[in-house]
A and B are shown apart, each in its own frame.
Chain A
Amino acid sequence: MTDTILEKLSAYITTEFLKQPGRILTPNEPLLSSGLIDSFHLVDLSLYVENNFGVRIDDAELNASSFDNLNQLVAFIQSRM
């Protein structure tokens, strides 16, 4: 379960945001603090999470203090399931 969510998120971020579809993000790789994704993407990310994992996230909930890597993001999503 965790792995599936993680893979889906990784594929979404590398394809849509980084434009490097072949790239694999590691679970602990910093995403916001490293500049891989920025505030413009956070709304996209929360819409993607809502539409794909059946959880409800308010726009402002995903931010630099709620997650910085895929592990943290997955934990956040699972806490809502």
Chain B
Amino acid sequence: MPTFSDFLKAHYEQTPDKISVILLQAGQTDRPVTYRELMHGAAGYVKTYQQNGIQPGDVILLILQHGVDLLFAYFGAVLHGAIPSIMPFLTEKLLPERYRTDLAALVSVTQPTAIVTYRDFEPEIRAAVKPGEDSVRAVIVSDQVEGPYPPCFSFFGGLRRKPEDIVLLQHSSGTTGLQKGVVLSHQAVNNQLNNYANAIHLMADDVFVSWLPLYHDMGLIACWLMPILMGYPLVLMSPFDWIRAPYRLLQAVSKYKGTLSWLPNFAYNFCSQKIRDRDLEGVDLSTWRLISNCSEPMRWESNQSFYQRFRTLGLRYESLCTCYAMAENVFAVTQGGVDSPVVYEDIDREMLQTKKVAQLAQPGHIAVRMMGTGKAIQNAHIRIIDTKGYHLADRHVGEVAIQSDCMSTGYYHRPDATEKVYIDGWYLTGDYGYTVDGELYIAGRKKDLIIVGGKNIYPQDLELLAYDVPGVHAGRASAFGVFNEATGTEDVVMVAEVDMDDPVERQKIADSIRVSVTRGSAVALRYVHLVSHAWLVKTSSGKTARSANREKFLKEMHGNGQIY
């Protein structure tokens, strides 16, 4: 079985002039990168890694934004046989001290030997690492790297990696997420790419278009590794540019005849509501053949609004697809909407909530519209299990468990976290769902995870930040997500107990909680709800019962006639 380096070498030797990536950067002309340039630039990084004593098998952290530096540094690490891991870049909202704390937490578990970043950012990194004490031997600045040169593949450690060797680590964000690096081997990623390429019928003239971040599986696997390793052009823009100018995605599809994109659900709402007509003049979306809704709960309404807004530009309804994916399976588990349109059904809400059964709603009953995520891709298997691990029949809601030939072997240096979710060769996803003739529907979440715009947020990270605020006591705050129909994603809510009644004082505390959470996690709270002592529901072990607090909050809001 070939490794990543074998793929890269083949593209370099067979199609060196083919464009691999087109980088779109706001205010600059588009920057095409051929396989020749990619491999020459990556070879410069290999030399630099070698000079710094970085060994094949070592972890290299990349703290870079979308651009040529990231491309060269990433594939340089691959060619060197090292393990690249992309860390989220510091945003303007996040406190630098907090970023350093997160970085130090990551370093302590993942033990990288090198960190690559920009010159401007180097002092931040140096402040977070402790030479001689932690694992980091080199902080490499991107403008000091050896220049491009023709690669001598036989000297590169990457060509001697075995299929079972670790090829990359994937972290999600926040203190908790950064300490759980998903371990992926060459074999697992290759199997996923083959399985998934078949599922989406990858075609010779396919062009990938993406704005997704690369520290997340959807961006990293579907919109970075798949096109680059399999030889398809990738048009890539930064998430920072896209969020400020969402029309860029559609203009890029039009300009480069894009065919494939993956989007979190909120992006459908965001694009359909927030693009001006003047920015769509001349845009043609008729080449866009698969747009997969993935990485957060998907809504039929979101797909509809996207289609209605852009159909006059050539968007076809059958292009709208769905996908259920997770880093622990490299990426996709299911894919829907490729061979036949995405399916949906109206389920009796009462039965779903009280009996955990997905029964089609009779006329007059309140229904929830569920959108299918598709069927398992080849070599992936899905089971719905109850709390005792027994296999449930179709239409019964239980935890989704998966097994495949592309699973992660666990979390890097975290046997404790690994053994909780990998049982007898099955990965327990923490999502609730049900099946109907092989079609998987996701119906909720067992884990206390908040997903905003496709980004995973651990509530405990946010609660710890709330406890930093004077007037809020440890253990007396609860964070959770509430779905917002208008934005198509979750709003983050923080409920905190406080002792004082003075409204001015309470407002100050609420604002301080917002500041502390935003600057400590780059997550903006949509709602801060201050309550009196003993409001919060606790578990028998004294921990915050987040889902119970969420229910209580929603009830209170409904009682007040408020939006939630």
Contacts and interface: CB of A to CB of B under 8 A. Distances in A.
Interface stretch (A4-12, A29-37, A70-78): A29-37
Contacts of A60: 26, 241, 244-245
B552 interface: no
B92 interface: yes
B27 to A, nearest CB: 8
Contact of B274 (A32, A33, A43): A43
A19 B526 contact: yes
Interface string B489-525: 0000000000000000001000100110111000011
Given A34-B511, A60-B26, A39 B527 contact: no
Interface string A56-67: 001110011000
B93 A38 contact: yes
Contacts of B279: 59
A49 B271 CA distance: 18
Contacts of B453: 40
Contacts of B270: 40, 43
B247 interface: yes
A50 B277 CA distance: 13
Nearest to A43: B274
Nearest to B489: A40
B487 interface: yes
A35 B244 CA distance: 17
B276 A47 contact: yes
Nearest to B279: A59
A39 B514 contact: no
Contacts of B92: 32-33, 64
A40 B518 contact: no
A35 B247 CA distance: 25
A59 B242 CA distance: 10
B354 to A, nearest CB: 30
Contacts of B274: 43-44, 47
B563 interface: yes
A63 to B, nearest CB: 7
B66 to A, nearest CB: 15
A23 B514 CA distance: 15
Contacts of A39: 240, 243-244
Interface string B508-550: 0001001101110000111100000000000000000000000
A73 B74 CA distance: 40
B207 to A, nearest CB: 24
A32 B93 contact: yes
Given A34-B511, A47-B274, A47-B276, A19 B518 contact: no
Contacts of B527: 19
B503 to A, nearest CB: 10
A59 B93 contact: no
B525 A35 contact: yes
Contact of A35 (B243, B245, B487, B517): B517
B518 A34 contact: yes
B246 interface: yes
A19 B246 CA distance: 24
A34 B525 CA distance: 11
Contacts of A33: 92-93, 519
B477 to A, nearest CB: 15
A27 B562 CA distance: 27
Nearest to B247: A59
30 contacts: A19-B562, A19-B563, A33-B92, A34-B514, A34-B515, A34-B518, A35-B514, A35-B517, A35-B519, A38-B93, A40-B243, A40-B453, A40-B487, A43-B243, A43-B244, A43-B246, A43-B270, A43-B274, A44-B274, A47-B274, A58-B245, A59-B244, A59-B245, A59-B246, A59-B247, A59-B279, A60-B26, A60-B241, A60-B245, A63-B244
Q: Which 10 A-B pairs have the closest CB atoms?
A: A35-B518, A38-B524, A59-B245, A60-B244, A35-B514, A64-B92, A43-B274, A34-B515, A39-B243, A59-B244
Interface of B: 26, 92-93, 240-241, 243-247, 270, 274, 276, 279, 453, 487, 507, 511, 514-515, 517-519, 524-527, 562-563
Given A36-B524, A58-B245, A59-B245, 15 more contacts: A19-B527, A19-B562, A19-B563, A35-B93, A35-B514, A35-B519, A36-B511, A39-B244, A40-B270, A43-B246, A47-B274, A60-B26, A60-B244, A64-B92, A64-B93
